[in-house]
């Protein structure tokens, strides 16, 4: 993408820039209304920072709003009296130039980096990074532009203390927003490394889980850092409070904690991966997603089932997708009038059909030292029939392909048996009546 094209794409940011400055100025006034304990330096004593708690009434709220409006008017009056029209015009021009130059330069540089990679996988990774940092960089560039322009051309007096706090807040949001988005690169790198070992699908659920956990940690750390850097809060007190709250939550939410630990155990044990068909606790479905609390299954009926992760750990899991073959037994019941020669012909027909090219590779195969091939026997004298038993081992784990091949196999057996004059039996009873007296 050319620099000029990116530049034209950023022309629509002018209203956003002006709105951002207005919001900066407005929020600065609101920030100035916060209790002094939130805005003063850490070196002040606890007595100076302490704010007595009072019950707010409608009159108190109206008074606070009035004070905020009054301070906003005072700030605007100070801005007008201590800054000339020339200063304001230069401020706006430099602000626009900074935004319209910094953002395209950052975007253009990243697009060049992503386009310079010859490897398809690396290019995909660079494009992912570009997508993740695009919006945080926009916010960072706007904040930086407002900060530079204001410091050079505008005088805010005592009000600059609150504006500086807001600058720090916006820088923190931009930085942690970028880190939060870039956590997805960790997931991509895990999957990329898994491709080399051939275990991409097995590690997919673990990569997604790692991304979620890292983003939670980034969010918690960002909140703590902002409280410390912007609002000058004592992190020791906060951590002690969080420890007590964490202890209470762990006691009150034991089931949730069990589910989380269950998800960790499943990730280490890896009894299934995303896309596998499993049977657990009476549910038969496809694994679609694994979260902190539950695992989502798409049932064959079309319903979605959410299985608690603690259930996964404590229950037997039948992973149908990991089987090497599908066992199938077919009982062919023939009438008692069938001669021994016809019984042998029925056996020969099944052996010939299972040895045809269209299905031979799926029924004749070896796994390790074990060899699998169809077995056909005259197995039983049933109450109403002579039974020919067919034992098959179908290579593969795709259930629907298996069902289609079995349908074709059954159709061929039925056609061949009808042509050979072999009659299928059905449950019958013969009644003998003795008329002698």
Residue 424, in any domain of the structure = no
Same structural domain, 313 and 351: no
Same structural domain, 273 and 340: no
Same structural domain, 352 and 370: yes
Question: What residue numbers bound the domain in which 313 lies?
Answer: 253-321
Which of 149, 173, 197 lies at the terminal end of a domain, its last residue? 197
pTM for the model: 0.47
Same structural domain, 82 and 175: yes
Residue 13: its pLDDT value, please?
47
The CATH number covering residue 265 comes to 2.30.30.60
Same structural domain, 147 and 171: yes
Q: How many distinct structural domains can be found in the chain?
A: 3
Residue 108, in any domain of the structure = yes
162 neighbors 222 (Cβ within 8 angstroms) = no
Same structural domain, 13 and 42: yes
DSSP 350-391: HHHHHTSHHHHHHHSEEETTEEE--EEEEEEE-SS-EEEEEE
Residue 53: its pLDDT value, please?
46
Same structural domain, 281 and 337: no
| pLDDT digit string (tens) for the chain, length 437 residues | 444 444 444 444 444 444 455 555 555 544 444 444 444 444 444 444 444 444 556 666 666 666 666 666 666 666 667 777 777 787 778 777 776 776 677 667 666 665 555 456 666 777 777 777 778 877 887 888 788 877 877 777 767 777 788 888 888 888 888 888 888 877 777 777 666 655 565 566 667 777 777 888 888 888 878 877 777 766 666 666 666 666 655 555 566 667 777 777 777 777 888 888 889 888 999 998 887 778 899 998 889 999 888 888 788 888 888 888 899 999 999 999 999 999 999 999 999 999 999 999 999 998 888 899 999 999 999 888 999 999 999 998 888 899 999 999 999 999 999 999 999 998 877 777 777 65
Q: Phi-psi category of 99—alpha, beta or left, where left has phi over 0 and alpha has psi -120 to 50?
A: alpha
Residue 229, in any domain of the structure = no
Residue 222, in any domain of the structure = no
Q: Is 300 helix (H, G, I), strand (E, B) or coil?
A: coil
Same structural domain, 262 and 346: no
Same structural domain, 117 and 18: yes
Residue 119: its pLDDT value, please?
55
């Amino acid at each position: 993408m050319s620099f000029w094209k990116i530049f034209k794409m950023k022309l629509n940011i002018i209203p956003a820039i002006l709105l951002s400055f207005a919001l900066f100025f407005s929020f600065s006034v609101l920030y100035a209304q916060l209790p002094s304990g939130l805005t003063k330096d850490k070196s002040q004593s606890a007595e100076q920072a302490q704010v007595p708690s009072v019950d707010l009434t409608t009159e108190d709220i109206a008074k606070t709003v009035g004070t905020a409006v009054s301070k906003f008017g005072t700030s605007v009056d100070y801005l007008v009296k201590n800054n000339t029209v020339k200063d304001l015009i230069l401020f706006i021009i430099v602000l626009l130039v900074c935004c319209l130059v910094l953002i395209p330069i950052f975007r253009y540089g990243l697009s060049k980096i992503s386009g310079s990679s010859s490897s398809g996988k690396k290019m995909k990774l660079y494009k992912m990074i570009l997508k993740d940092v695009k919006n945080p960089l926009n916010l960072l560039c706007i904040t930086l532009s407002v900060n530079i322009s204001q410091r050079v051309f505008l005088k805010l007096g005592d009000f600059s203390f609150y504006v500086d706090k807001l600058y720090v807040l916006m820088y923190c949001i931009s930085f942690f927003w970028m880190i939060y988005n870039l956590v997805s690169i960790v997931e991509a790198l895990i999957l990329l490394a898994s491709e080399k070992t051939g275990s991409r699908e097995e590690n997919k659920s673990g990569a997604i889980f790692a991304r979620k956990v890292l983003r939670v940690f980034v969010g918690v750390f960002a909140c703590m850092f902002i409280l410390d850097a912007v609002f000058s809060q004592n992190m020791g007190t906060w951590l002690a409070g969080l420890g007590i709250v964490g202890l209470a939550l762990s006691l009150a939410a034991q089931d949730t904690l069990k589910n989380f630990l269950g998800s960790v155990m499943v990730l280490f044990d890896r009894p299934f991966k995303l896309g596998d068909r499993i049977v657990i606790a009476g549910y038969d479905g496809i694994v679609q997603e694994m979260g902190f609390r539950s695992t989502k299954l798409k049932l064959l009926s079309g319903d979605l089932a959410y299985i608690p992760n603690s259930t996964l750990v404590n229950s037997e899991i039948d992973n149908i997708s990991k089987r090497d073959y599908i066992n199938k037994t077919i009982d062919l019941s023939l009438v008692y009038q069938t001669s021994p020669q016809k019984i042998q012909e029925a056996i020969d027909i099944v052996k010939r059909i299972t040895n045809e090219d269209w299905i031979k590779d799926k029924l004749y195969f070896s796994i390790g030292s074990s060899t699998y091939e169809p077995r056909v026997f005259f197995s039983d004298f049933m109450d109403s029939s002579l039974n020919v038993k067919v034992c098959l081992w179908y290579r593969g784990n795709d259930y629907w392909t298996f069902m289609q091949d079995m349908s074709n196999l059954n159709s061929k057996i039925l056609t061949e048996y009808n042509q050979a004059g072999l009659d299928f039996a059905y449950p019958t009873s013969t009644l003998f009546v003795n008329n002698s007296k």
